[in-house]
Each structure stands twice: as structure tokens, then as C-alpha cells.
Structure 1
């Protein structure tokens, strides 16, 4: 198609979201993929679901071939006005208070680490003497 370098807003591109008129945004460029919907190996639903947003991550996650990337040139219609695309935010976990190490529970764990094996050993020895005596 060969765009003339026109700049589109996200709202303008989002209006093209049907099987009869489908535009995508990939890496800051706008593509009219309407004629390609039937030929797309992943089906037209994949392309239609990527309209109205920046589909760069969707496109890259699939791992398209070099020939697929070359094919995009014929569907190019222009650039996207980056100021109209919402910024991606990263998840920041909420601040939590530092864990207060309870020295008492630490001491109890150390005692149990000593006593439990000792109790198992005592039980084994007791069973051995009990079975010998009987």
C-alpha cells in the first residue's frame, strides 16, 4: 500500500477494527491488514483482537519470520502519534514492613531439630529391646 508518512492518533487507528477495515499498530507504524486477514496463518481473529492498541508485543511474542516482516511493508499506511498511546506501567509491589525475626521461635526450632531425631532414635532402640524381650 505504501503510506505517505501520515501520522495517525490511536483513536483514528482504533476506528479501523472490523474484518472489512482492519488497522494495526506495530513498532510505531500503522498497517492496514484488511486484505491480509484471510491469508494470515493465525487466522483473522488474532489480527482483529490486536486492533485499538499497540500490538507490538503481540507481534514480537509470536516470533514472526523475516519474510513476514518484509511482507508488512506493503500494508504500511503511516506512523502513530506516540503521545496518544498510553504508557505501559510496570508492577511495583506494595511496601511491606521488614520481617521481625522472633528469637524465641528460632530457639524453639533449634531445640526441635535436636530433640526430634533423638526421640526417633530412642523409639527405635526401645522397639528393638521390646521385640527382643518378647
Structure 2
């Protein structure tokens, strides 16, 4: 992480709007302002984390390898050493492990998640239809 601009959490916290959206992922600082309209999950997801530490949210989603590489385009600095957090994940595991684990399991986790989301969506659509035809 040598050579990156050092930033305090206070400095980062000032960038929490759609005009300037910075977030921390693994003690690295990303300016995602230009990515807000392109984010597949919508700009709201990024704006919720803007100005703060989005590491947990980023990891919980299970981003693809492509998304992990893409975020590096927005890297602008890192959290100053005395304010860095220690995370409970192993960077090697989440960097390479997610895709490798899914290949070994045949993508079971992703398929199950997709079925759950699809099922919830179907229930919501059915409820809306039922309410509209009442």
C-alpha cells in the first residue's frame, strides 16, 4: 500500500453525498462518485456506505472477481495507519477463495441465494397482483 495518499476517517466521512462519495474497503479508500449511476445494485447501496467503512457490506454481497478488480479503478488512498481496522477475514480467502469455493461446490451457494431472492420476488408480485385485483 506504499505510495497511496493517507487519509483520516474524519476526512473520509466528509465525502458522503452523490456529489462526492468515498468509502473504505479493507482500509483502502475508493472514490465511487463516478460509479454511482453504474452500480448494478443502485446508487443507494453505495451512498449508504459513503463516508464510512463499507468492508462488511462489500464482503457480505459476495462480489465477483471482476467487481473486485473493477474497484481498483476507484482507489484514491488508504486510511492512516493509526486509524486502520483489523478485519476478521483473510484477504487471500476472499480475493481468490470465493470463486474457487464456488467452482468446487458447483456454485451451490449462489444458486440457493438466487432461488431465495426469486421466491421472495414471486411472493411480492403475487401480493401486489392480488391487492390490485381486489
TM-score grouping bracket, smaller chain normalisation: 0.5 to 0.7
Residue aligning to 2:123 = none
Q: 1: distance between equivalents of 2:43 and 2:81?
A: 26
Runs of at least 4 residues of structure 1 off by over 4 A?
85-88
Q: Whose relative contact order is higher, 1 or 2, with alpha carbons under 8 Å and at least 6 apart?
A: 1
Residue aligning to 1:72 = 71
Q: CA RMSD in A?
A: 1.9
Residue aligning to 2:17 = 18
Query: Matched residue pairs, number?
Result: 85
**What are the ranges of 5 or more consecutive residues in structure 2 without an aligned counterpart?**
88-134
Q: Deviations over 1:52-93 (max 9, x none)?
A: 3211001000000000001011100011124336789xxxxx
Return the TM-score normalized by structure 2: 0.58
Determine which structure has the larger helix proportion and give its number.
2
Return the TM-score normalized by structure 1: 0.58
**What are the ranges of 5 or more consecutive residues in structure 1 without an aligned counterpart?**
89-134
Q: 2: distance between equivalents of 1:29 and 1:87?
A: 12
Look at both structures and tell me which one has the larger radius of gyration over its CA atoms.
1
